[in-house]
Amino acid sequence: MRIAIASDHAGFIQKAPIIEQLIALGHEVRDFGPANEDRVDYPDYADKVARAVAAGQADRGILICGTGIGMALTADKIAGIRASVIQTPEFAHLFREHNDGNVLCISGRFTELDINKQIVNEFLTTGFGGGRHAGRVKKIMREDDASFSGVKE
């Protein structure tokens, strides 16, 4: 798969080992930065990765900040993106199986690297379940459509 990845300063320390994991698994990785641990603004990096996924330049995105929260809040504003903060491998599995998540947001400060590696693995190896979940995901995505005026009743 083509994976777009980025962090901020708080997630930087986990970015290199996760890139190594991705390469070892045979994925094509595009690192959107940053190049060092200098303080940066996470929305700038979430924007780059989310837009690469939304444009079809990457199949999936991975974002690492202190909590993962700011990355997810930003990425989810880009049309076509389903991003979430994930703290356990089980949630990573369900994020793929039920929600067809395409941008994984993880915490560099509160989740150990070993757990994040398991989360990444689950995110990349679990397929979307389809079936009853497909209609729900379609309903998530209608929120991207400016002509959708909200659920009535």
Select the residue interacting with ligand RB5 from 10, 49, 94, 120 (CB under 6 A).
10
Q: Which stretch binds ligand RB5 (CB under 6 A): 29-37, 46-54, 65-73, 127-135?
A: 65-73
Nearer to ligand RB5, 100 or 104 (CB): 104
Catalytically annotated residue among 65, 93, 105, 133: 65
Round to whole Å and give the CA distance between 68 and 70: 6
- 104: enclosing H helix or E strand: strand 103-107
Contact flag: residue 141 with ligand RB5 (CB under 6 A): no
Contact flag: residue 34 with ligand RB5 (CB under 6 A): no
Catalytically annotated residue among 9, 27, 93, 98: 98
Question: What is the three-class DSSP state of 62?
Answer: strand
* Per-residue tokens: 148: 């959708």
Is 65 one of the annotated active-site residues of the chain?
A: yes
Nearer to ligand RB5, 67 or 102 (CB): 67
Contact flag: residue 66 with ligand RB5 (CB under 6 A): yes
Is 93 one of the annotated active-site residues of the chain?
A: no
For 10, counting Cβ atoms within 10 Å of its Cβ (0-12 exposed, 13-18 middle, 19+ buried), the class is: buried
Contact flag: residue 69 with ligand RB5 (CB under 6 A): yes
Contact flag: residue 43 with ligand RB5 (CB under 6 A): no
Q: Where are the alpha helices (DSSP H) in 1-153?
A: 12-24, 42-54, 69-75, 89-97, 113-125, 132-141
Question: Would you give the distance in Å from CA 82 to the centre of its chain?
Answer: 8
Positions annotated as catalytic residues are: 65, 98
